Amino acid sequence: MTETRLNSASDTRHTAFDALIARARASGAVPYAIVWPCEAHALAGAIEAARRGILMPVLVGNRVLMERAAQEAGLSLVSYRVVEAATPEEAVSAAIALVHEGTVHGLAKGSLHTDVLMHGVVAQESGLRTDRRMSHVFMMAVRGRAEPLFLTDSAINIAPDLTTKRHIIQNAVDLHHGLGFGTPRVAILSAVETLNPRIQGTLDAACLSKMAERGEITGAIVDGPLAMDNAVDAEAARIKGLTSPVAGRADSGHARSRGRQYRGEGAQFSGGGPLWRARDGRARAHSSHQPGRYHRGAA
């Protein structure tokens, strides 16, 4: 997964993330376990979120490494609770325990490897799994678009079957609603925008579209197969002669990796450490945004 950072130049800055930060601040700071924030960039992101009134971070990791990272970044840990863990694996276990205790409402990825975090989170004994597959969402702000573009799943599910794709879409749709963006238009992405029996992705796209019509996927307008260009660009959809409620106007796209080829002019990304919502007995993955900093991560 690529590591990206917000371009602060005034001519490319998008306001979508600023609006989300303001909304999060208005809701009050939420306690989260920051798992292994033992490098300066991960620690700084968590502390910046705390300073902006978004998170109340509980730092879970090796105290010596965290203090060294804080010194490197010119930060202080005095105001934050630290839970000692000798290794990244121990940090994951300790953070999950904090969720079950009710001390924190979820987890945010620090500087540990994604596979280490995911191994602990998806384990049956973690207690964070539900009947729906966990998935990852990239949120991109692109010049010329008033609202962010969601891309899912580009990190966790390598070769999803039809049922997993339904879960992936529903997770993204729920996130879209949860962030206050309303009903999304979801494009099921494939290599081509027409049905081809030799390309399984196009058949799955047609099935998912029908499932949405029948209410098996809720809260969204779903169509596919579509290619990335004609999913998000109205002119590309017109040239292809596509008649679709989604083509050229997609808010969310399901694709394994193809969508990452599309950047758009002045694109900005939020794909930082995962936040595992664990309230009311349900764990759900969300892509996180730590203001001004974008780190490797999955949700």
**pLDDT score at 115:** 93
Residue with tokens 């993955």: 285
Where along the chain do its domains lie? 16-132+272-288, 144-261
CATH of domain 144-261: 3.40.718.10
User: What is the percent of the chain with per-residue pLDDT over 90, rounded to a whole number?
Assistant: 72
Per-residue tokens: 170: 């529903």
State how beta strands 107-109 and 252-254 pair.
unpaired
Helix ranges (H only) for 74-199 are 88-101, 114-122, 162-178
**pLDDT score at 166:** 97
**CATH 3.40.718.10 given to domain 16-132+272-288:** yes
Identical fold, 16-132+272-288 and 144-261: yes
User: How far apart, in whole angstroms, are the C-alpha atoms of residue 108 and residue 211?
Assistant: 33
pLDDT band for 254, please (50, 70, 90 cuts).
confident
**pLDDT score at 255:** 66
Which has more pLDDT, 18 or 120?
120
User: How far apart, in whole angstroms, are the C-alpha atoms of residue 207 and residue 197?
Assistant: 13
Confirm whether pTM is higher than 0.85: no
Burial environment of residue 161 by CB neighbours within 10 A (0 to 12, 13 to 18, 19 or more): exposed
User: How far apart, in whole angstroms, are the C-alpha atoms of residue 47 and residue 75?
Assistant: 8
Alpha carbon 118 to its chain's center: 14
Mean pLDDT of 115-131: 94
